[in-house]
Amino acid sequence: MPLFLRVLCLSLLLLGAATAADAQGRNILPPVPTPTDVKPGSITCDECPYPYPSKYLDISVYSQDVRISYMDVAPLGRANGHTVMLLHGNNFGGFYFKAIIDGLIAVGFRVIVPDQIGYGKSSKPIAPYTFNSQSRNTWLILQAEQVDKVMLVGHSMGGMLATRFTTQYPRSVERLVVYNPIGLSDGRYSRPMPPIDDVYERILKTDYQSTRASLSRYVGHDPQAWNDEFETYTRIRYSWTLSADWPRLAMVQALISQMLYADPVVYDWAHIHVPTLAFGGAEDLLLGPATTFQERMNVLASTVPNGNGHVLLLPGLGHVPHLEAPETVIPPLVAFLEEGLDASQ
């Protein structure tokens, strides 16, 4: 049995055989008043709780001078000579990865965590957004840091980007973890793309209650999983809506929604040629019933050619497992990546 599967079995003993609650499709959190102590927040995330210092790289996006931000965290103790890059989801920046970063640097990995253009501390240009351009921006960080290869972990939207990056820059990727991804099916044929102006007007109306309801979908399987970290990120996103720069960020978010709709990566899976793990919480409800997510994760793994696709789904956990139970998530993730150390020797 592979090492990461043995570690998974131990993790599941700690977790227990939890099952998903039938909570999808409704606001599963009890109502709370809108907080009155949240101040307008910078759309470049100046107040966000980043666990490590950020670097900045000046780049050009559609002839606009912008900068992309990233954390570059050195390993603790003896370095193993490998770098892991973490790619964040659509509702976050790199700031929510602390538990995973700490788990990786503890065993000798260097960890690089970009904020994609349009997110976190990076610039927010009004421009087209595609996974191809975001992949290029990410690759430029590796070039600047003189990193030839990474092990790539992409969460949620970051799973889509990690997939595209792997097919665009195959020589730069040793291993791939697609972690509770969105974009597991091509939805363009079931609904037309909403007009950008309509999406923009809807996003402009975002407030604390709608933000909290949106993020609550991540714990639809278990409302008790909502914790202080989820609440902190709700307050951060709400603070942006109070900023004078909110209309700009709202337009950026509307443009990004077009990327998520019009740039599916499901056709990339067959062109991945590295060991790939479809990984995460088994009770992810963003696609509908958890069984739908589980089925599509198995399709992802089976589509990766040459037997390189594998699946590890953790019972009882939802869309952002490392915010729910990092002690359960990190050991099998680290074990899968560490298997790549033996393969490279």
pLDDT single digits (tens) 140-177 = 999 999 999 999 999 999 999 999 999 999 999 999 99
Judged against a pLDDT cut of 60, whether residue 179 lies above it is answered with: yes
Judged against a pLDDT cut of 80, whether residue 1 lies above it is answered with: no
Write the CATH number of the domain with boundaries 49-185+265-343: 3.40.50.1820
Q: What is the pLDDT of residue 20?
A: 32
Residues for the chain: how many in total?
345
Q: What is the pLDDT of residue 11?
A: 41
Mean pLDDT of 198-220: 97
Taking only the tens place, the pLDDT of each residue in 85-104 is 999 999 999 999 999 999 99
* Alpha-carbon span 88 to 326, nearest angstrom: 16
pTM, to two decimals? 0.93
* Alpha-carbon span 116 to 96, nearest angstrom: 14
Contacts of 64 (CB under 8 A, 6+ apart): 123, 125, 127
What is the side-by-side strand order in the sheet with 54-61? 54-61, 64-73, 110-115, 83-87, 150-155, 173-179, 276-281, 309-314
Between helix 246-262 and helix 228-241 the angle, nearest 10°, is: 110
**Would you give the distance in Å from CA 179 to the centre of its chain?**
7
Amino acid at 106: A
Mean pLDDT of 311-322: 98
Cβ–Cβ under 8 Å, residues 118 and 256: yes
* Alpha-carbon span 247 to 241, nearest angstrom: 8
Give, for 321, the enclosing helix (H) or strand (E).
helix 321-324
